[in-house]
Amino acid sequence: MVLCDLMMPEMTGMEFFEHLGSLRPEYRSRVIFMTGGAFTESAQRFLAEVPNLRISKPFEVAALRELIAQVLEGSPGPRPAQVQPQSDG
């Protein structure tokens, strides 16, 4: 299982996902994407095209645990699975 942010300093999550697919394509379904919600157009398009689970930051630990359990159980859930950011109220 891999937690991958979409926006990273040296490589985007999209680039990582593509590189992972060329090395170990069987691991692609085990990636959970994290995002702060400030998407580029290419990131929005990417998330619309991949069936992977994703979670918006900030998130509750319980929500992340739930997604991890889904990946480890091999049932990624409905597409697209999205956990909304926690509210401050």
* Domain ranges, ordered by start, for the chain: 2-83
CB 7 within 8 A of CB 35: yes
**Overall CATH class of domain 2-83:** alpha beta
Residue 80 preceded by cis peptide, ω within 30 = yes
State the pTM of this model: 0.77
Positive or negative torsion for Cα 55, 31, 80, 47: positive
**pLDDT at position 73, please?**
86
> Could you tell me the CA-to-CA distances from 74 to 6, 53, 57, 69, 80 in Å, in that order?
22, 12, 24, 8, 16
26 DSSP 8-state letter: G
Q: Region 34-43: what's the mean pLDDT?
A: 84
Q: Region 67-74: what's the mean pLDDT?
A: 88
